[in-house]
Structure 1
């Protein structure tokens, strides 16, 4: 999987062709759960039932990025943001989770799995499930971690 860390904001265009969802959540485990649930509900509104592969993949990626925002990016009194953008032309759903902790950026590549560790596997999951992912600084403070999830199954064997 391609992992990118960039220094400029990479925002998809906002238009009727790119429906989106934007929401704020408290930087708590409950906020992370609510973000995942809202993402699944919104995916269903976009035509992806909760049990579909695309909806489940988006739910897993949102859950991981939101949990990381709560655990590693939480700043007292500051919420985290979730943004989903569907791009049917590109066949992607872009997930963005923004928090206020600018100094705590994810690694350029996901850490290797630690067999005895209780954590450290979440970005490996994101790396496997997303077509690409990365992070960008957020102005005036913080960062946005983003991932792009394919909405179409590839039938080309050479792409696998």
Structure 2
């Protein structure tokens, strides 16, 4: 994924734009396992932009590292709108970033259900100056690598939109 020319070009533009705006970002990743942060750090100069990244793959990590309430995960599941929003807000609160993006989903091949199929991914986007946003994608069962690649692309899209919004 880090060697995907289109994604790398977007990451380069994102780093340049965040640096020019003097803004910093954080990531909270579950199903992408740090791929969003990895793509951003593939760009020279990204240290001026990426404040920190959290890989919160387990439910416990979501609670311990970024303050997602365990009861929220128990009630709604790790792959849910509310948990994605809490992950983004928690990453923002646990960092010095201006913007945080969160990704939680089911990349497969197993783990899906009728209500939460393989390919379901929830995103959260938290900014210091705006309400937490949410995005849901249902990519379908495209294979683990493709689902994760699409999730990284959508996470970049949210970070791009946050910068445009101010």
**TM-score, normalised on structure 1?**
0.31
**Greater helix proportion:** 2
Normalised TM-score (structure 2): 0.30
Q: Which has the higher contact order (CA 8 A, sep 6+)?
A: 1
